């Protein structure tokens, strides 16, 4: 795409006055606009041609109609806000008038250039184009004017016009354990179902019966006692109903809204409001989900996608002091949820899965050191304690992908390192897909900016996180060592002396 040569704006708006004006006061207001508007709208503008200009205007008894044009400085929505404020401050007492409301009749952004791709944009009435320009007509209210929607439309347009990367994603092996012999070569998910250690509850959601639950708890204990605690992390409980505002700050509402589960509140807690719905369920013996939707508010929460979302919100609007040392917390209090749809596979890709989330905040040097020590711990545990064939891989930063960020990923240190385990049943190690069981990331200062976190002396603060899917840890163990506890690594068996008996049913093995 050719670089955009120029961006300009045109708008037609009505400023509704707080009360009707007599002819004398209308004339005085008209003269004020002629004399003061140009100076007011060019204030703070270096390039005169880029400033907003009032091209035409008319003053009526109860309103002002304006036509405004501008380049990239003092755009029409800013110009309208300036005029409204100035009229109230400078003429309020003199004329006894202020601006009650701004109505946008037309708002157009013109992008001059060539080779533009056809795209969709929000708040648009119409998008037209030719070989030299694209014209975007917006449908705006006063609310969008003051919340700077036109500026974000420009940014979004430019983002969508960027060339889509055609190269492969980052996937660079940085460390590998030795190749190891394998006692087992079957998909363990099939055997788990056959043995009754797991049972499908719904799509991507499973029961974990006593033997599998014991394995999960054992993996959790190993991660906590050999990775989290030795590296100075302490346990906290993070919320599992995440407000959409927190998801917006993290970027997930515009990065992966198609991969999240949403939660709606009832419109009322009064049972009588649901009486007709309850009666129909009783008489039809069906759930009637469509009728239930009418009883619910729009979504106000989402279920945690990565489990670390609430961590950054702790510090939102707060002031931290890096002299107090880094902040290191971990959470193991519940599930993470991802809408995988057709991507569900056995116990390796789920809609609901158990996760330990390790989170940290500190100076850039502290965060990098914390992440590097975590990497060393993961490599030792997966290689030695679990005796798995494992590798550490630098990958495209998953946390940036979740936020819809496709650029600015080249930093001084790797942004995300994954820990991948070889699964023999998938084929040869050189060509098969290895299973990612965890990762450790450095976010740089991105979340500090997005969550508006300040430091006491305005020093730079970074964050990082490390997530583990416990089901994948168990699958990795079973896929390599099988189901006979005698074949499991000695270091692992120190944490699990004996598997509990499973429940017995007539229809189960």
Give the DSSP H/E element, type plus range, for residue 64. strand 63-70
Reply yes or no on whether 23 is catalytic: no
- Cα–Cα distance measured from residue 131 to residue 244, given in angstroms and rounded to the nearest whole number: 40
Q: Which of 144, 226, 231, 308 is catalytic?
A: 308
Reply yes or no on whether 139 is catalytic: no
Q: What pLDDT is stored for residue 4 in this prediction?
A: 84
Q: What pLDDT is stored for residue 346 in this prediction?
A: 84
Q: What pLDDT is stored for residue 412 in this prediction?
A: 75
Reply yes or no on whether 376 is catalytic: no
- Please name each of the domains of the chain with its CATH number: 6-161 (3.30.70.1920), 171-245+260-264+303-493 (3.30.930.10)
357 and 308 in contact (C-beta within 8 Å)?
A: yes
Q: Where are the beta strands (DSSP E) in 177-261?
A: 198-202, 205-208, 234-235, 242-243
Q: What pLDDT is stored for residue 167 in this prediction?
A: 45
166 pLDDT above the threshold of 50: no
The predicted-structure confidence for 249-260, as pLDDT tens digits, reads as follows 998 988 889 999
409 pLDDT above the threshold of 60: no
Average of per-residue pLDDT values in the chain: 90
Q: What pLDDT is stored for residue 72 in this prediction?
A: 72
Residue in 394, 366, 390, 365 with CA at minimum distance from that of residue 377: 390
Strands 327-331 and 234-235: parallel
| C-alpha Rg value of the chain to the nearest Å | 30
Q: Which of 50, 106, 369, 436 is catalytic?
A: 436
Give the DSSP H/E element, type plus range, for residue 365. helix 364-380
If one compares 160 and 57, the residue with the highest pLDDT of the two is 57
Reply yes or no on whether 308 is catalytic: yes
398 pLDDT above the threshold of 80: no
Reply yes or no on whether 465 is catalytic: yes
Q: Which of 50, 340, 372, 455 is catalytic?
A: 340
495 pLDDT above the threshold of 90: yes
C-alpha torsion sign, points 194, 196, 201, 204: negative
The predicted-structure confidence for 230-249, as pLDDT tens digits, reads as follows 999 999 999 999 999 999 99
- Please state which of the ranges 71-75, 116-120, 389-393 shows the lowest mean pLDDT: 71-75
The predicted-structure confidence for 220-233, as pLDDT tens digits, reads as follows 999 999 999 999 99
Reply yes or no on whether 439 is catalytic: yes
97 and 17 in contact (C-beta within 8 Å)?
A: yes
Reply yes or no on whether 264 is catalytic: no
Q: What pLDDT is stored for residue 372 in this prediction?
A: 96
105 pLDDT above the threshold of 90: yes
153 pLDDT above the threshold of 60: yes
Q: Which of 309, 371, 465, 480 is catalytic?
A: 465
Q: Which of 387, 418, 420, 471 is catalytic?
A: 418
Q: Which of 231, 439, 468, 480 is catalytic?
A: 439
Confidence of residue 345 (pLDDT cuts 50, 70, 90): confident
Q: Which of 75, 338, 371, 391 is catalytic?
A: 338
């Amino acid at each position: 795409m050719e670089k955009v040569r120029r961006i300009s704006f045109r708008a037609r708006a009505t400023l509704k006055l707080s009360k009707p004006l007599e002819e004398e006061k209308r004339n005085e207001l008209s003269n004020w606009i002629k004399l003061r508007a140009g100076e007011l709208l060019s204030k703070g503008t270096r390039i005169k041609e880029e400033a907003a200009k009032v091209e035409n205007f008319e003053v009526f008894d109860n309103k002002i109609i304006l036509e405004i044009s501008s380049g990239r400085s003092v755009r029409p929505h800013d110009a309208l806000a300036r005029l409204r404020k100035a009229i109230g401050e400078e003429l309020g007492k003199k004329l006894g008038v202020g601006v009650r409301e701004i109505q946008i009749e037309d708002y157009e952004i013109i992008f001059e250039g060539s080779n533009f791709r056809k795209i969709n944009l929000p708040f648009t009435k119409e998008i037209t184009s030719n070989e030299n320009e694209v014209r975007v007509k917006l449908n705006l209210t006063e609310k969008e004017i003051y919340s700077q929607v036109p500026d974000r439309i420009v940014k979004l347009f430019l983002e969508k016009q960027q060339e889509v990367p055609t190269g492969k994603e980052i996937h660079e092996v940085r460390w590998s354990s030795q190749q190891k012999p394998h006692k087992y070569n079957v998909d363990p998910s099939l055997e788990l179902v056959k043995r009754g250690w797991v049972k499908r509850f719904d799509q991507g959601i499973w029961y974990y019966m006593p033997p599998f639950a014991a394995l999960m708890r054992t993996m959790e204990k190993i991660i906590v006692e050999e990775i989290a605690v030795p590296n100075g992390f302490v346990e906290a409980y993070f919320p599992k109903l995440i407000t959409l505002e927190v998801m917006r700050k993290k970027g997930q509402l515009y990065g992966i809204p198609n991969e999240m589960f949403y939660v709606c509140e009832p419109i009322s807690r009064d049972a009588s409001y649901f009486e007709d719905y309850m009666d129909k369920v009783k008489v039809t013996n069906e759930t009637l989900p469509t009728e239930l939707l009418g009883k619910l508010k729009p979504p106000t929460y989402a279920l945690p996608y990565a489990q670390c979302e609430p961590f950054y919100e702790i510090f939102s609007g707060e002031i931290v002091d890096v002299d107090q040392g880094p902040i290191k917390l971990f959470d193991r209090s519940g599930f993470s949820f991802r809408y995988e749809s057709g991507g569900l596979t056995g116990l390796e890709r789920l809609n609901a899965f158990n996760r330990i989330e390790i989170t940290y905040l500190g100076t850039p040097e502290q965060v990098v050191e914390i992440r590097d020590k975590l990497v060393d711990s993961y490599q030792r545990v997966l290689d030695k304690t679990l005796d798995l064939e494992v590798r550490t891989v630098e990958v495209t930063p998953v946390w940036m992908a979740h936020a819809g960020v496709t650029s600015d990923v080249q930093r001084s240190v790797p942004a995300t390192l994954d820990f991948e385990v070889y699964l023999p049943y998938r084929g040869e190690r050189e060509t098969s897909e290895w299973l990612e069981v965890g990762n450790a990331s450095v976010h740089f200062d991105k979340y500090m900016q997005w969550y508006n976190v300040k430091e006491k002396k305005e020093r730079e603060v970074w964050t990082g996180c490390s997530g583990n899917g416990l089901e994948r840890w168990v699958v990795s163990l079973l896929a390599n060592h099988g189901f006979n506890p005698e074949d499991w690594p000695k270091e692992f068996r120190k944490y699990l002396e004996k598997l509990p008996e499973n429940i017995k049913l007539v229809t189960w093995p």
